């Protein structure tokens, strides 16, 4: 997940996402085409979507509304931008290095800043790295994660392992939250529904043949987010993302084993 990991021949990353949440812009629908024109060379395809949202509040009836957003993506459908009235997402299923990803994020944020009205504030930044762990000869999935991030065998009690689901939350140096979700399963349900990015093709790693017996796969999802009140300044935002990446990268190194990282470094 660090820049070096993105260069590994067997890097486990299957999805990377950066999100910027900002003050709602009421007339984003009349400006999004200007934004698309500015990034057209990199993301020529575009689709307008309506996403149904249900809001639940104590003592009140559920309220439904439609969220309009615009998805733009490259010709290979490996990377895309999702724009809504109060957020922008850059996501990819073909991650290479942090430098490349953050450079493209800075590019789209700069183009978005050109169409935003004054006084727009940034409220939240999110950075998410998702790694898929596959068993290999001599290194099962539970030996690719360290510490408590692993399955506990109850074979001696006559119990067969089915699924591990683990969520751990940390406070980060950026005064943010890092939520690490770890899953292992003997079934083919390891991936939550939100890990199938809209309009992007799946990562090549997901196309590998799974073993017929034992744990078919593991998942480590590093979800790092920070709440703040800041002007929409691309250079300031990028500086914060770089700091968040450093923390997430360190977390990756501390939650995976040296044997696993050696495996991923092999051609």
Number of domains in the chain: 1
CA-wise closest residue to 229 among 240, 221, 216:
240
Q: What is the pLDDT of residue 29?
A: 92
Q: How far is residue 16's CA from residue 101's CA, in Å, rounded to a whole number?
A: 9
Residue 59 lies in a domain: no
Please report the pLDDT score of residue 116 as a whole number. Answer: 95
Please list the ranges in the chain whose pLDDT falls under 70.
1-8, 52-65, 150-151, 188-189, 209-215, 267
Radius of gyration of the chain (CA): 20
Quick check: is 58 in a domain?
A: no
Dihedral sign (CA 178, 179, 185, 189): negative
Query: Which residues form the domain of 176?
Result: 3-53+64-265
* Own/partner long-range contacts of 52-59 (Cβ < 8 Å, ≥24 apart): none
Q: Is residue 179 part of a domain?
A: yes
| Cα distance between residue 62 and residue 95, in whole Å | 38
Residue 126 lies in a domain: yes
Percent of the chain exceeding pLDDT 90 equals 60
Asked whether the beta carbons of 55 and 16 are under 8 A apart, the reply is no
């Amino acid at each position: 997940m660090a820049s070096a990991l993105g260069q590994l021949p067997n890097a486990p990353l299957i999805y990377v996402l950066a999100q910027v949440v900002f003050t709602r812009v009421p007339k984003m629908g009349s400006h999004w085409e200007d934004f698309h024109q500015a990034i057209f060379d990199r993301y020529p395809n575009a689709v307008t979507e309506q996403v149904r949202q249900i809001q639940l509040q104590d003592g009140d009836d559920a309220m439904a509304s439609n969220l309009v957003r615009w998805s733009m993506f490259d010709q290979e459908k490996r990377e895309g931008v999702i724009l809504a009235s109060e957020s922008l997402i850059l996501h990819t299923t073909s991650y290479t290095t942090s430098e490349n990803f953050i450079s493209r994020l800075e590019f789209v944020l700069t183009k978005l800043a050109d169409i935003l009205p004054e006084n727009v504030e940034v409220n939240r930044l999110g950075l998410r790295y998702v790694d898929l762990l596959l068993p290999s000869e001599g290194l099962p999935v539970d030996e690719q994660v360290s510490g408590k991030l692993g399955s506990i065998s109850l074979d001696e009690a006559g119990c067969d392992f089915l699924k591990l689901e683990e969520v751990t939350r940390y406070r980060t140096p950026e005064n943010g939250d890092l939520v690490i979700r770890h899953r292992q399963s003997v079934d083919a349900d390891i991936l939550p529904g939100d890990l199938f990015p809209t309009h992007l093709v799946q990562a090549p790693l997901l196309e590998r043949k799974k073993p017929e017996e034992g744990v078919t796969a593991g998942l480590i999802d590093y979800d790092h987010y920070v709440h703040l009140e800041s002007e929409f300044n691309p250079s300031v935002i990028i500086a914060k993302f770089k700091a968040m990446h450093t923390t997430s990268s360190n977390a990756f190194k501390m939650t995976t084993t040296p044997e696993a990282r050696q495996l991923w470094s092999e051609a």
